[in-house]
Amino acid sequence: MTRFYDEAGFDTVNVGPLSESWRVERDRPAYVVRQNTEELTANLAIANRLP
């Protein structure tokens, strides 16, 4: 599937298993922000899990 995105001009970033999907939820650094691969990877790394 990543090949399709690459061909369409998008980069893909593996955010991990479904149990880590909280990293891209609302009020996290990676949520609804235009960013490149490096920025997204960094924002995923600094995301804090809210209680």
pLDDT at 32: 92
Q: Is the pTM value of this prediction over 0.75?
A: yes
In a domain, 51, yes or no: no
User: Taken in order 40, 17, 32, 45, is the CA torsion positive or negative?
Assistant: negative
Length of the chain: 51
> How many distinct structural domains can be found in the chain?
1
What would the pLDDT profile of 1-51 be if each residue is shown by its tens digit? Answer: 788 988 998 888 988 999 999 999 999 999 998 999 999 999 999 999 977
In a domain, 38, yes or no: yes
pLDDT at 5: 87
Report the C-alpha gap between 16 and 21 in whole angstroms: 7
pLDDT at 2: 83
pLDDT at 45: 95
Give the domain range for residue 41.
2-46
